[in-house]
Chains A and B, each alone.
Chain A
Amino acid sequence: MAKEKWGSKLGVILAVTGSAVGLGNFLRFPGVACANGGGAFMVPYIIAFLILGLPIAWVEWAMGRYGGKRGFSSAPGIFRSITGRDRTAQIGTLALIIPVIIYMYYVSIEAWCLGYAWKYWTGGMQAVVAEARQAAPPQEQTEAGISAVKNYLLQFAGVVHESDPNGSGNFRIIREFGSSTMPFLIFCFTINFILIYRGINKGIEWFCRWAMPALLICALLILIRVLTLGTPDPMNPDASISNGLGFMWNPVGHNLVDGKLVEVGFWAALSNPQTWLAAAGQIFFSLSVGFGIIMTYASYTKDDDDIALSSVSAASGNGFFEVALGGMIVIPAAFVFIGPESIISAGEKGSSLSLGFFALPGVFEYMPAGHFFGGLFFFLLFMAAITSSLSMLQPAIAFLEEGLGLGRHAAVTVLGFITATGALFVSLMSNGLTVLDHMDFWTANFCIFLLATIEVIFFAWVMGLDRGLEELAHGAEIRLPKALPFVLKFVTPTFLLIIFGSWLWKEVLSNGPYVKALREDPVVQLTLGFIISIFIFFSILVRVAVKRWTKTEKTNPEKMEVSV
């Protein structure tokens, strides 16, 4: 079977940018920035972009194309092709399970986004609001509308169920199939797998070629709406868009102490290690480094294509969506309509999901033409989510094809079964979002930190900088910084180890809330058991694949161009 290739350089850049641009750009970034120094957050953010984000992205691109030239697109094959040792293939298991497990809950969030957009645009939301307003006294009608929207959405996603005395939302999507997220989940699942089945060029690249411009147009329309809001309530002149922008960008952070907003100065924010950790974490999750996805995407580039500029292009594209669009929309709009306390409170409760899915619907209730823009905003999130979720499937598809010799049809079927099991687990056990939250914690935090640290150390100290940088410089359309070898060998690994160590200390070793929940809550134990089972399953598959590769190399050396 001929190895797939991207159709054009712009196509691969759009696909990598699409993979990186997701909910984190529009919801997580503004929330994290606001809570960690506001404008002051940009100082550690830019530094983390330069010494963490870009170098790790370059590492993944270089390793990916190196493996791609030798016939491998999956992380186990790539790691093995770099060292020539079978054991190193097992490192790649992490790069397979991270995107697969994230996909299992990410597709649920994708379904919420589509469902919210659908409800806004088909009048479902308006009907709920009108009913609640009619039942409330005149002075409480707006609050009643917001409360109704929030309850409606909580039930729709199965987070809680008011008719249940325990407030349990578990299995609600089965009990109330038609009015739950289930039809949207099935739709999103199907779309993802149809596009993946069509392949790199006709599926992922084709979709990103029109989805990314559409995403930009949606974001610009919402940005114009937000920036032209002015002061919607003349009786409350402080609630203006100018002050909203100030809340986001002034170099002053905010904390909520006993329900009151307390300001944190520029230097106080910068001298707080938490600000630096938050910036590094944001760069990580936002650029999709440490997922193993970039490695797989880079393996499909042509041998002489530039990867250095492509990497910077994708990273800057992600930065553009995050800073220039994400940083200008959510916080200013939320400040004007629901106030600064609600923003910080939503951020503290559950970060981006709470801000996006529970606080923002309130904003659209107040905003002129709010239901149209509410639909547009959630459609924008849906588009951003689908370009990301697509990329999460490709590493495992590539592995099943090249590692186990499955055809596209069989690989898609096997992965479809695995991810459907996980997605059903997340959706059925939706009460309080416990499963989703803990899957996110152990995979999108712990495993990503671990993989990124391993990747950088592997690139600089095992693969060797000479070989790695030669690969990166081959066909490069930009000159690589002279300091890059030093940064990759010492600065980035040290920075990563400090961040990972601090994170481990704070969240795991100090008996943080997630570890505490793991000891006490059987649902959390079940979730971690599920993650470990997936890891063991893929680890066995990697072992089988390595045996198969070794056998093929012995019987037909020309077929496998593995560098030893």
Chain B
Amino acid sequence: MSVAGWIIMLLSVVGMTSLFCWCIRKVLTVPEASEHIHSQSDIDPHDQE
């Protein structure tokens, strides 16, 4: 395997793997839409027992 072959292989494999890992990390760390958007029903008026 030539040096150029090694470079292309490493760039392709590491590049795709890094992009995929970054995406999954971002997806998992960002809260779901329903978790950070509050509707009126989420408001607790604190005056009702």
* A residues adjacent to B (C-beta < 8 A): 8-10, 13, 38-40, 42, 242-243, 245-246, 248-251, 266, 302-306, 309-310, 312-313, 316-317, 319-320, 322-324, 327-328, 475, 477-478
Decide: A316 near B12, CB < 8 A? Known: A249-B1, A477-B30: no
List chain A residues, Cβ under 8 A from B19.
Answer: 312, 316, 319-320
The chain B residue with its CB closest to the CB of A10 is: B27
- With both beta carbons as reference points, the residue of chain A lying nearest to B23 in the complex is identified as A313
Query: A245-B5, A249-B5, A251-B4 given as contacts; is B30 within 8 A of A306 (CB)?
Result: yes
Interface pair A251/B5, CB less than 8 Å apart: yes
What is the distance, in angstroms, from A324's C-beta to the closest C-beta of chain B? 5
**Is the Cβ of A319 less than 8 Å from the Cβ of B27?**
no
B23 → chain A closest CB, angstroms: 4
Q: A9-B27, A306-B30, A324-B13 are in contact. Are A250 and B1 (CB under 8 A)?
A: yes
Contact in complex: B2, A312 (CB < 8 Å): no
* Given A327-B12, A327-B13: A10 touches B28 (CB 8 Å cut-off): yes
Q: Which residue of A lies closest to B19 (CB)?
A: A316
Instruction: Contact check, A313 vs B33: say whether CB atoms are below 8 A apart.
Output: no
Shortest Cβ distance from residue A210 to the other chain B in the assembled complex, whole angstroms: 16
Q: List 27 A-B contacts (CB under 8 A).
A: A8-B32, A10-B24, A13-B27, A39-B4, A39-B8, A39-B12, A40-B8, A42-B12, A243-B1, A246-B2, A248-B9, A250-B2, A250-B8, A251-B2, A266-B4, A302-B34, A305-B32, A309-B23, A317-B23, A322-B16, A324-B16, A324-B17, A327-B12, A327-B13, A328-B13, A477-B26, A477-B27
**Residues from chain B with Cβ under 8 Å of A42 in the complex:** 8, 11-12
Interface SS, B side? helix
B43 part of interface (Cβ distance < 8 Å): no
Complex-state Cα separation, A477 to B30, whole angstroms: 8
Choose among A39, A304, A317 the residue that contacts B37 (Cβ–Cβ < 8 A).
A304
Instruction: From known contacts A302-B33, A309-B26, A310-B27, infer whether A251 and B8 are also in contact, taking CB-CB under 8 Å.
Output: yes
Interface centre among B6, B9, B28, B32 (most CB of A within 10 A): B9
A242 closest partner in B (C-beta): B1
Please indicate the chain B residues that have their CB under 8 angstroms from the CB of A304 in the complex: 33-34, 37
| 4 residue pairs, one from A and one from B, having the closest CB atoms | A246-B1, A39-B8, A250-B5, A313-B23
Query: B11 — nearest CB in chain A belongs to which residue?
Result: A42
Give bound CA distance, A515 to B2, whole Å. Answer: 42
Q: Contacts of A305 on B, CB cut-off 8 Å?
A: 32-33
Q: Kindly list chain B residues whose C-beta atoms are within 8 Å of the C-beta of A319.
A: 16, 19-20
Complex contact B12–A245 (CB within 8 A)? no
- Which chain A positions have C-beta within 8 A of B16? 316, 319-320, 322-324
Q: How far is the CB of B10 from chain A (nearest CB, A)?
A: 9
Chain A positions within 8 Å of B1 at CB level = 242-243, 245-246, 249-250
Identify the closest chain A residue to B14 (Cβ): A324
B34 to chain A, nearest CB (A): 6
Q: Which residue of chain B is the closest to A324 with respect to CB atoms?
A: B13
Using CB atoms, name the residue of chain A closest to B9: A249
Q: Given the complex of chains A and B, what is the CA–CA distance between A42 and B13 in angstroms?
A: 11
Separation of A170 and B11 alpha carbons in the complex (Å): 47
Residue contact A316 to B23, C-beta cutoff 8 Å: yes
A317 pairs with B20, CB closer than 8 A: yes
Contact assessment for B4 and A320 in the assembled complex, using a CB-CB cutoff below 8 Å: no
Q: CA–CA, A166 to B10, complex, Å?
A: 49
Q: Which residues of A contact B28 (CB under 8 A)?
A: 10
Q: A39 near B32 (CB under 8 angstroms)?
A: no
Q: Shortest beta-carbon distance, A323 to chain B, in Å? A: 5
Taken together as a complex, chains A and B put the C-alpha atoms of A319 and B17 apart, in Å, by 8
> In the assembled complex, which residues on chain A have CB atoms less than 8 Å from the CB atom of B20?
313, 316-317, 319-320
- CB closest chain-B residue, reference A302: B33
From A9, A303, A327, give the contact of B32 (CB < 8 A).
Answer: A9
A9 vs B33: C-alpha distance when bound (angstroms): 9
Beyond A38-B5, A319-B16: 11 further Cβ-contacts under 8 Å?
A39-B8, A42-B8, A250-B8, A302-B32, A305-B33, A309-B26, A313-B27, A316-B16, A324-B12, A327-B9, A327-B12
Residue of B nearest to A301 (CB): B33
What is the CA–CA distance of A303 and B39 in the complex, to the nearest angstrom? 13
Which chain B residues border A250 with CB–CB below 8 Å?
A: 1-2, 4-5, 8
| B contact residues around A9 at 8 Å (CB) | 27, 32
For the complex, give the distance between the alpha carbons of A309 and B22 in Å.
Answer: 10
CB distance from B21 to the nearest CB of A (A): 8
A39 touches which one: B9, B17, B33 (CB < 8 A)?
Answer: B9
Q: Residues 28-42 of chain B: 1 if any A CB is under 8 Å from the residue's CB, otherwise 0?
A: 101011100100000
Quote the shortest CB–CB distance from A453 to chain B (angstroms): 27
Contact present for A320 and B30 (CB under 8 Å): no
Q: How far is the CA of A323 from the CA of B16 in the complex (A)?
A: 7
Query: CA–CA, A303 to B33, complex, Å?
Result: 8
Contacts of A302 in B (CB 8 A): 32-34
CA distance in complex: A116, B4 (Å): 37
With beta carbons under 8 angstroms apart, the residue of B2, B8, B17, B32 that contacts A320 is B17
